[in-house]
Structure 1
Amino acid sequence: MFGRRVPPHVVFAGSLLLALACAALAFVAFSRGSLIWGALAGVLAVWFTVDAVRSYGWAQERRRQEQVRAQEEAQRDADRAARRR
């Protein structure tokens, strides 16, 4: 939005906290007999849970890409050192 992305671990933590808060609100609403507010809070809890799972997947993919990049750089450095000899 402003030229910078929010890091995936921040999105994960925020989404997880919001999912827990919505789940708690859904529980309270259902226990008090308010079906509409309970259903709305339940849908939001599911929404934020899915968002947290997706952001966790993004973080894992980013780590995998960094490992591959590091291995490729190490291989290139080893090849350059072998050519110099």
Structure 2
Amino acid sequence: MNEEFKKYEGKDIDVFFHSGRCIHSANCVRGLPGVFNVKKKPWINADEETADKIADLIDKCPSGALQYIRKDNTKRGNNNDYN
């Protein structure tokens, strides 16, 4: 994972965020507000929802600012090459 991504570690999935790629569509905060909450620190809590739901939402990130690695090694995602 590129060093410009910040890692948010969870029990079943690690979420990575690249602030320079984010286009602020807010799909994440609207889709899973328990996981993506800009009013909390850290703003991403990967243990607030299932790995499947988090992965599904991240796969829809239009900019590729969010990516993940599942701890069960079933999938790595978001391969969106926005930038």
Q: TM-score, normalised by structure 2?
A: 0.22
Which structure: greater helix fraction? 1
Q: TM-score, normalised by structure 1?
A: 0.22
**Structure possessing the higher radius of gyration over alpha carbons:** 1
Which structure: greater strand fraction? 2
